[in-house]
Chain A
Amino acid sequence: MWIWADVADDDGVASSALELLTKARTLGDDVSAVALGPGATGAATALGEHGAMRVYASDDEALTEPTSRVAAHTLAALVREHAPGVMLFPSSYRARDVAGRLQAITGATLMANAVDLLSPDRARAEILGGTTIVEVALEGPAPHLVMMRPRSFEPEAVGGAAEVVRVEVVEPEGATAARVLEQTDAAASGPSLDGAKVVLAGGRGLGGPEGFRLLEELAGAIGGTAIGASRAAVDAGWVPYAMQIGQTGATVKPEVYLAAGVSGALQHAVGMKGSRRIVAITKDSEAPILRLADLGVVGDLFQVLPALTAEVRRRTGR
């Protein structure tokens, strides 16, 4: 069984890789990770500690070209040589691109939005915005490709060291014709969405970028709080993509999730419905998010949020 590890030269290995390793170990002892791009070799330590026996690694810069063709063809060659039965992927941008291309090259099945793998040919997946869980039988040539939703498993270190196997880079013709002209890092300020105990999310109902000020004030009063956004608010250009929660953004599971002016479309729901407690404030009494909420408030968020900030300040003395 193989897993795809997203790596970066500065942040090391993505936690998704450790989640996938933890799952893979429950289905067999022979688990390998594939890490392609700068930082790959350095990631082998963490991958080994989480149960990878082998790490197929290359730090070659060419693997990061933006179309993912080089990474996909390099991985396809590895897969042909070693014939794993299953390969698990995270649901990241890069993994989608690599897995999508690998499917075309190998003719293997690709299951997206999986939340569990029962056996090499049986997966469970969330569909319809996470309202329904289906069990799917996978057929066709190996390896079956399964993309897991983030945070489907809790990573667990077992100790151990991985053997690092050098990977030859495969460049299909014309594969490096696309190039990155500029890069901008848009890391959100304050606590990260991933670890925060409280997440406040703003949507179209906030009316504009200035609406997020209300969330910042509330976050300051609560403390240890991260601010996120719905896709609608990100697409409108109000806040950077790094703040997006949902299918194409972050998946969060905080103690308390408070959504303001978010309708709770399927797209958004899959990224937050695992939260321990959910509060939603919306003026739309038909908004789907109210069905997910422990406490749904129908009303004017421009009145509710400042009143809540004042009440929290009163209780905390902040």
Chain B
Amino acid sequence: MNIAVLVKWVPEPQGTPVLGEDHLLVRQGADGALDPGDEYGLERALQLVERDGGEVVVVSMGPEIAVAAVQRGLAMGANRGLLVTDEVLRGADTLVTARVLAAAIRSVGTVDLVVAAVESTDGYTGTLPITVAELLGLPSVTFATSLDVEGTELRAERQTAAGTEVVACPTPALVTVTTGVAEPRYPSLKGVMAAKSKPVDRPSMADLGLTDDVIRSTQTVVAVEAAPEKAGGRVVEAGPDTAGEIADLLTEARVI
């Protein structure tokens, strides 16, 4: 079984990213890393391949620096990587990104399963993987909290608005997973060393058969403003008066 895992390099995964003067996220020089949300699906993919055979390919689109995210995936145990980098993709919207990733997945050969996080930590649109699924003509199971594959069928428990459901779906298919799906391993030193010699494919737009007209973004940020800040908040150390202070606030709000 071959699994493609979509991964993303994000700036400042633990902090707040910033916008540059061109209204795009500052990526160069940022303290970036593999999106922590991507490690859960990657871990589950590695477990499935370790059990049943096959290979895991980490697939990403991003700036040159995003190779660090792919390397991290390889260090965790993925067999190979693919990173699409091109200046024309800077500021790409979700449709362009989905088209690039769909073409990238097609280029890695036969894939039984595509795994992605439900949403990225920085952009959190939560629609990209499903657009990729439709472009590839694949069925999809989104918001999976567990994932298993038996033969040519996957089973996943997924969150829904009403509760949970268990879904069976033939492969090939795309699955988006929450952080509940597996506990990611920490890359070993051996894994980090081995990652350096694993292949990372770097296809160009032409290699992927992508022409200028399909990679033109349809969204342009024309103005940026800070959301209104909370005024007058205060922070205190817990002490003997704390309960009284919070109760005062509840009284003021007329909820007690």
Contact = CB atoms under 8 A, between A and B. Distances in A.
B217 to A, nearest CB: 8
B18 to A, nearest CB: 8
Given A110-B94, A181-B166, A315-B251, A297 B236 contact: yes
Contact of B165 (A109, A183, A299): A183
B250 A312 contact: yes
A242 B179 CA distance: 16
Given A101-B130, A126-B227, A296-B233, A312 B256 contact: yes
A104 B23 contact: no
B223 to A, nearest CB: 4
B141 interface: yes
Interface stretch (A19-27, A154-162, A303-311): A303-311
A308 B249 CA distance: 12
B247 interface: yes
A96 B218 contact: no
B97 to A, nearest CB: 11
Interface string B117-132: 0110111111111111
Contact of A180 (B124, B167, B170, B239): B167
Contact of A291 (B164, B233, B242, B244): B233
Interface in B230-256: 230, 232-239, 242-247, 249-256
Given A222-B256, A295-B245, A104 B135 contact: yes
Given A103-B127, A178-B141, A248-B118, 15 more contacts: A101-B131, A110-B127, A133-B227, A178-B167, A179-B167, A180-B167, A183-B165, A184-B165, A241-B163, A258-B246, A266-B121, A276-B253, A278-B230, A298-B236, A298-B237
A290 B245 CA distance: 16
Interface of B: 16-19, 23, 93-95, 98, 118-119, 121-135, 139-143, 155, 158-170, 173, 178-180, 218-227, 230, 232-239, 242-247, 249-256
Nearest to B159: A241
Contacts of B245: 295
B87 to A, nearest CB: 20
Contacts of B169: 66-67, 177-179
Chain A, interface size: which category?
35 or more
Which 8 pairs between the two chains have the least Cβ-Cβ distance?
A299-B238, A100-B130, A104-B134, A140-B218, A112-B125, A109-B218, A186-B163, A178-B169
A85 interface: no
A136 B167 contact: no
Contacts of A101: 130-131, 133-134
Contact of B233 (A134, A241, A294, A310): A294
Contact of A255 (B127, B239, B242, B253): B253
A182 B94 contact: no
B247 A308 contact: yes
Contact of B219 (A138, A237, A273): A138
A130 interface: yes
A292 B230 contact: yes
